[in-house]
Structure 1
């Protein structure tokens, strides 16, 4: 069968590999759609904690091609050939302290499909039945592939323990930040969204942000937050950029006893005055992957399918993935999520996935 393999930095090749062997307790799936994220860029650039070559792809939807009689998904729903499913890419060890605590998302020996072991840029995968979840009726498989990034944002919001009426700030209006905005609004929070790109803040409004701010040298984030959340500051800040300055601003701006959740990833250090932590008695929480499976995030995607579908701005086949990653790596180019149709031989670099996708002018008019 065909697979797309990253063989070295910025180099991908379509190769022939053996069809997978299906072991007892496993299902065989036909891959339908894989969506791309920032992690895929880092792997493709060989700036990630993995070894090349590897078959990337961890945001995956598929259909069941083979299942044992009586096979059930992660929530105990019976599985049959042809069923649409999403794949939970986490492969925890099951025995380390986090796993024993029910926090497999932070497993000390965690492997992830498409990140540390071969993933979804392939025609078929064999994997344990408890790593798939049946897609509800009415949810298309391209949109369903967004369940994995939704789960990342959903877990970050749960870590923040939001309460109705609290004020929350989200740094970064990429996919994770946008989904976090919607999840915070669902919990009754008032939300300020911050980004450096005006178009992203427009999308943040569509996702429910009460206010948005485009920050830069002339409009510092600390100043914007102080004005919006006066006099005490916000109770919650979700840092979804990985930019050290954003964490520094968050510590400065957060209310006493507030919670800061860090879901953005970076190797760069941040400078935080240690006095702020005990004096304000704040919590700085890391958020990794998703605890508790994909059930709640999948229901979130089904509920907001129309909104989330708009986040997919481009579509490509396996031959165009490298060009898609190049486009995503260019921070000056406005691009949302890119969907990879694994079944397609589409060789053109990219095409707009939604012919009727709203323009920036349309979004302004809708506010």
Structure 2
């Protein structure tokens, strides 16, 4: 098969042997796969990610970046076959997505971040048959590929245990933040305040269900907000992942506030416990999506209750992956560029 792969911090396109399914594996031909910032991390800080996983425990500890690995964990594809002795829960020819986790054959790996578990930037991949979610016939491939990133935001949203009495703030309007907004809106939480430095992302936040979107350089989202009749936020979702944000939030929120840390920060974070204790704050650390989040994300996209169409920008082939990953953090870039690995 042909695939875009990463080796020693560089993106290349090459040929690999087609993966061979074992027991519990579904062989899937990839139709689409979204580009995520987590793949971009491996272009400039890959060894740091691996070292942190080895030191503190994490899903990337077994990855050897000196050897090629095929990334891509936001995929949709067509079931081709199964390994011997498999349960075969979805018929060949049907499209699926899944949690990007492989637990068959005694392994536990993140698909797309493991040398032995190629991801969706290749023509074929192996999926854990127990994790499969079947895609409805009428759902477009590009929209279906947004299931996993939306599911992450939905998990973060529920992790804060939001109630109808909350006034929520979402910091950062990338895919995770937009997914949080969508999840809060779906749960009937209002008002929702969003902040982002980028005007286009603030507009997307409104489209996803935020009541107001603020440029934090000009207006503090923690003060009483005139547009919300003087209400103040009490439930904060951090979706940026840069050091310093947690302490900034602790200093800024009011008594009894709750904070959900969703941004994936890989640097040391300093904070004053004294300040958090005096305010009786609660801090949740959100992780990845769970099966219930994937189910809700897929159903919401298919039924149109969450519209992820504005997330999708360019559709590219394998040859465009390197450029797309290098520019994805620039102003004006789409929330998601989608790869069709059947195209060069």
Whether the 8 Å contact between 1:86 and 1:132 is mirrored in structure 2 is yes
Partner of 2:274: 275
The structural deviation recorded for 1:20 is 1.6
What is the SS of the residue equivalent to 2:291? coil
The structural deviation recorded for 1:115 is 1.9
Q: Structure 2 CA distance, aligned partners of 1:27 and 1:210?
A: 42
The structural deviation recorded for 1:182 is 1.4
Q: Structure 2 CA distance, aligned partners of 1:127 and 1:246?
A: 36
Whether the 8 Å contact between 1:62 and 1:87 is mirrored in structure 2 is no
Q: Structure 1 CA distance, aligned partners of 2:87 and 2:151?
A: 21
Number of residue pairs aligned between Structure 1 and Structure 2:
322
Partner of 2:111: 113
Partner of 2:207: 206
Q: Does 1:58 align with 2:79?
A: no
Measured against aligned partners, the alpha-carbon deviations of 1:157-188 in whole angstroms (never above 9, x if no partner) come to 11100112310000001111111111111222
Q: Structure 1 CA distance, aligned partners of 2:250 and 2:204?
A: 26
Q: Structure 2 CA distance, aligned partners of 1:44 and 1:224?
A: 34
Q: CA separation of 1:3/1:254 partners in 2, compared to 1, >3 Å: closer, same or farther?
A: same
Whether the 8 Å contact between 1:261 and 1:284 is mirrored in structure 2 is yes
Q: CA separation of 1:253/1:57 partners in 2, compared to 1, >3 Å: closer, same or farther?
A: same
Q: Structure 2 CA distance, aligned partners of 1:67 and 1:21?
A: 9
Q: Structure 2 CA distance, aligned partners of 1:162 and 1:5?
A: 40
Comparing 227-236 and 29-38, the one that deviates more: 227-236
The structural deviation recorded for 1:46 is 4.4
What is the SS of the residue equivalent to 1:4? strand
Comparing 139-148 and 275-284, the one that deviates more: 275-284
Q: CA separation of 1:186/1:128 partners in 2, compared to 1, >3 Å: closer, same or farther?
A: closer
Give the unaligned 5+ runs of structure 2: 51-62
Measured against aligned partners, the alpha-carbon deviations of 1:32-71 in whole angstroms (never above 9, x if no partner) come to 1110111010113343324222111111111111147996
The structural deviation recorded for 1:14 is 2.1
Q: Structure 1 CA distance, aligned partners of 2:234 and 2:82?
A: 47
What is the SS of the residue equivalent to 1:244? coil
Q: Structure 2 CA distance, aligned partners of 1:201 and 1:161?
A: 24
Q: CA separation of 1:277/1:306 partners in 2, compared to 1, >3 Å: closer, same or farther?
A: closer
Q: Does 1:188 align with 2:191?
A: no
Q: CA RMSD in A?
A: 2.6
Partner of 1:295: 295
Whether the 8 Å contact between 2:31 and 2:141 is mirrored in structure 1 is yes
What is the SS of the residue equivalent to 2:287? coil
Give the unaligned 5+ runs of structure 1: 96-108, 346-367
What is the SS of the residue equivalent to 1:122? coil
TM-score, normalised with respect to structure 1: 0.80
TM-score, normalised with respect to structure 2: 0.85
Q: Structure 1 CA distance, aligned partners of 2:18 and 2:108?
A: 25
Q: CA separation of 1:72/1:169 partners in 2, compared to 1, >3 Å: closer, same or farther?
A: farther
Alignment of 1:240-279 (within 5 A): 240-279=239-278
Q: Structure 1 CA distance, aligned partners of 2:133 and 2:105?
A: 19
Whether the 8 Å contact between 2:23 and 2:105 is mirrored in structure 1 is no
The structural deviation recorded for 1:110 is 5.6
Q: Structure 1 CA distance, aligned partners of 2:214 and 2:314?
A: 26
Q: Structure 2 CA distance, aligned partners of 1:275 and 1:224?
A: 23
Whether the 8 Å contact between 2:102 and 2:127 is mirrored in structure 1 is no
Partner of 1:135: 135
The structural deviation recorded for 1:267 is 2.5
Q: Structure 2 CA distance, aligned partners of 1:230 and 1:261?
A: 25
What is the SS of the residue equivalent to 1:225? coil
Partner of 1:285: 284
Whether the 8 Å contact between 2:22 and 2:84 is mirrored in structure 1 is no
Whether the 8 Å contact between 2:99 and 2:290 is mirrored in structure 1 is no
